[in-house]
Structure 1
Amino acid sequence: MGGQTKSKKKSKAKRKDPCSNGGSGLAGLSPQDRMKLKMQEKAKKKTAEKYTVEQLLEKTEECMDTLEFEMAGRFCQRALEVEPDNLLTLDLLGHIHSELGDTQRAKEVFLRAVQLSPDEGHSKYMSLGQIHTGQEAVQYYTKGIQILLCMLEKHAQATAGAGAEAAASPLEDSGSEIPTARDVCMAYCSVAEIYFTDLCMEERAGDQCREAIERALTYHPDNPEALQLMASYLFNTEKNQEGREYLMRSVDAWLPALKQSEAPPSREDIEEEHTESDIPPYESRITTAKLLIEAEEYETAVDVLEGLLEEDDEVVQVWYLSGWVCYLQMERAKEERTREEREESDEERTREEREESDEEREALKEAARSYLTKAKKVNTLTPCHNGLGKTCHWVCACGSGQMCLRLQALRESFLD
């Protein structure tokens, strides 16, 4: 009898066990929450039985390729439930959260990857650098660069040991899984941009900015974005002639090929192929146009802006800059005519020459009006954080006080 009584007590204790896990078990949950948790566990087991992690990640990448990031996130989350410490899964999930605009969750995922593997994989550090600002961003980029350089050195040693055949392949042509000199270049460019913006008031910010750009050009001397960044730095330090030389080197690296293409690629195509081509991304080429205007390279600026409009004609800044450059060309034509009139008598200039000059100015004036009217229309249809008023200040910010005065005249003449 005593033994049977003990046995019953033990069995009762076993039945209570599942519900006595403190506050973290099922005891504190409502019946609905318990059912939901059980269903999630069941779904997790079913997923693990039905798909491997590799298959789930393959589905994730397929969805990312077609820009279906919400669906990609579901597949990736399932893969993470099966293997919570899978670094590739964490990397993909972090990028998906970034694409969806959830920077907080992206940060958490990337930091989890850092915790699991602090000294391998540069991508997570580059992503954290993009998410953060100021000195924190510099620290993440610097750590990523250290890993990149270490991997490049190991690859160089392996290539040297593999013989002449492997050595014949340049580093830049290596597979996408192997970091390239271009990756190092772009990482240093990211550091330079931080000193250009967030840390511009820090002591020695200018020196550190230039040092980062010079290191970028050491690894990829013909990189258009690094050359353009150096041009921006030089314009900012009032070394305009040297800045113009770097700017034109940058533009010459990609604009001729883009102009010669029979069918101009779409914005999406260029963004997708950016890692393999020398054509800078869309936003970077808007900066190119601003710098060309500042350098008074108006014709080249027009070529860049026309290419941007062919790729995407719903960006208000591009329409505004197109009108702005036409206005500046009109002003220059007016100044040239005034100068010529001072140097030549009316007899030396034929009526045809004067009429041709007048027609050119009128054409530029009409083009400026057309572009600016379109800018207002686009701004009305697709209002954004860079509205027309802010765009005016944004264009003005890259120039001198004289540019601001002329820009105000433009707005009064054509917009108000």
Structure 2
Amino acid sequence: MVKPVKKGKGKAVAPELDAEALLASARESLDRLDPSGAAALCRQAVSADASSVLAWDTLAEACLTCGEAEEAGRALHRSIELSPAGAPGRYMYLAQLSDSPAEAVGWFEKGVAGLRAEREALQQASGERSELQAAWAEATCALAVGLCSAAELYLTDLCDEPEAEGRCDALTGEALQLVSDLPAEAVQVVEPFQTRASLKLSQEAYDDAEPLLLRALEVVRRAEEAEEGGGGVEMPSLELRLALAKMLLEDDDSAEVRYLLATAALCAGEVDLAREEASGALEWLQSEWAPAEQAEWLPQLREVLAEAEGGEAA
């Protein structure tokens, strides 16, 4: 006679988390600057629901953040297979990950087409006027940045192509026009001005480049002021700020630009560059050639130099 199995008092098995809960935890990990942990959770999420576009997108984001480019590319491809008309940013990321410049152009073109469609859809949207205006400005800036990303290829990897200069001119010209039609305070990106200036510098059209670089600098200034005031404006990336400062320095010597370059370098962990720029600016400011009004930057530059020397010692 077989005895009935008694119900034991062993440990209860935890219910398997669904994809939605896993993705919520992954987002929390990303917010805590733990992309590796987020990626692990996302892998569980795509195993739980392989048809979830959000799961593949979040996995790609986490992998990109922690440097897992190959896995990010696979996740982006899978997301696009599931939803070709989804977020245009996926195409832009694939363009950046591509080893082939020609292939990258194709991805950029698809991404730009998606950004155009999103912007055009807002023309038919309804809602609060202020919210619609903010959404329109954001979509316009996103499209302008996408155009500049494609233009960068013609300034670099594809610069020897016969049509490179013309394509770059058209792309940067459209990007510049897009943001020029917005109120100045709504423009929170530097790429349209900076990329157009790069083209002008490559053409040795320095008089055309200078006002563009100054407009980019104005965007950075507004972002810094908003950040100091606790505003929600996103600061242009360190890479962009460093590139901007270097281009400005090619055209003119300015304590403000040297300060911008030194602080951006410091934030990026480039302590030697920060120290070099801050000390060079201080030396110039104390020379007979520096305009008197530039002296207002002495305290800020001394502070940056002290921080850089402290970081170097550490």
TM-score by length of 1: 0.60
Match of 1:241 among 200, 204, 207: 207
Tell me which amino acid in the other structure corresponds to 1:191. Answer: A
Hey, what does 1:184 align to over in structure 2? Answer: 143
**Residues 1:146 and 2:113 aligned together:** yes
- The residue type equivalent to 1:156 in the other structure is Q
* Cα deviation code 1:242-297 (max 9, x no counterpart): 1111111111233266268658x9xxxxxxx9xx6363111111111111111114
Q: Which residue does the alignment assign to 2:173? A: 214
Q: 1:103 to 1:172 in 2, by over 3 A?
A: farther
What does residue 40 of structure 1 align with?
none
- Aligned partners of 2:123 and 2:158: how far apart in 1? 34
Pick from 238, 250, 275: which aligns with 2:216? 250
Amino acid at match of 2:193: L
Within 2, Cα distance between the matches of 1:284 and 1:212? 19
- Residue 318 of structure 1 and its aligned partner are, at CA, apart by 3.3
User: How does the TM-score come out when normalised to structure 2?
Assistant: 0.77
Q: Deviations over 1:68-99 (max 9, x none)?
A: 11211121111111111211101111121222
The aligned length equals: 286
Label 1:125 to 1:315 Cα distance change in 2 as closer, same or farther (>3 A).
Answer: farther
1:288 aligns with 2:254: no
Whichever of the two has the greater Rg, that structure is 1
Q: By how many angstroms is 1:330 displaced?
A: 7.8
Please report how far the alpha carbon of residue 62 of structure 1 lies from its aligned counterpart in structure 2 after TM superposition. Answer: 0.3
2:255 matches 1:299: yes
- Of residues 218, 228, 233, the one that matches 1:277 is 233
Inter-CA distance 313–131: structure 2 relative to 1 (3 Å threshold): closer
Q: Higher mean Cα deviation, 63-72 or 147-156?
A: 147-156
Aligned to 1:10: none
Structure 1 residue 89 corresponds to structure 2 residue 71? no
Match of 1:319 in 2: 275
- Residue 210 of structure 1 deviates from its aligned partner by 2.0
AA paired with 1:277? V
Give the structure 1 partner of residue 89 of structure 2: 123
Q: Please identify, of 313-322 and 98-107, the stretch whose mean Cα deviation from structure 2 is larger.
A: 313-322
| Compared CA separation, residues 243 and 99, structure 1 to 2 (3 A) | same
Alignment check: 8 A CA contact 2:159 2:165 kept: yes
In the other structure, the counterpart of 1:308 is 264
Change (3 A) 1:181 1:297: same
Q: Quickly say closer, same or farther: Cα 1:320–1:216, change in 2 above 3 A.
A: same
Would the aligned equivalents of 1:145 and 1:184 in 2 still touch at CA under 8 Å? yes
Long gaps (5+) in structure 1? 1-45, 266-272, 337-355, 382-416
Given that 2:263 and 2:274 are in contact with CA atoms closer than 8 Å, whether structure 1 keeps it comes out as no
Q: CA deviation at 1:307?
A: 3.6
**Shift in alpha-carbon separation, 1:169–1:72, aligned structure 2, 3 A:** same
CA-CA distance at 1:56 after TM superposition:
0.9
Post-superposition shift, 1:303? 3.1
- Report the CA distance between 1:121 and its aligned residue: 2.5
Deviation per residue, 1:303-330 (Å, 9 max, x gap):
3135436645544333334455566768
Measured at CA, do residues 107 and 310 of structure 1 come closer, stay the same or move farther in structure 2, by a change above 3 Å? closer
The alpha-carbon distance between structure 1 residues 292 and 140, as it changes in their structure 2 partners (threshold 3 A), is: same
The correspondence for 1:56, drawn from 19, 22, 35, is 22
Contact 1:172–1:182 (CA<8 Å) still a contact in 2? Answer: no
Indicate the residue corresponding to 1:202 in structure 2: 161
Q: Conserved in 1, the CA contact under 8 Å of 2:223 and 2:235? A: no
Quick check: 2:141–2:179 contact (8 Å CA) kept in 1? yes
1:216 deviates by 1.6
* TM-superposition CA deviations, 1:355-409 (whole Å, max 9, x none): x9xxx9xxx9xx99x96xx68x84x98xxxxxxxxxxxxxxxxxxxxxxxxxxxx
Correspondence 1:13-412 to 2 at 5 A: 49-133=15-99, 134-157=101-124, 159=125, 162=126, 166=127, 168-169=129-130, 171=132, 173-174=134-135, 180-221=139-180, 222=187, 223-255=189-221, 258=224, 277=233, 279-308=235-264, 311=267, 314-323=270-279, 325=281, 333=289, 378=312
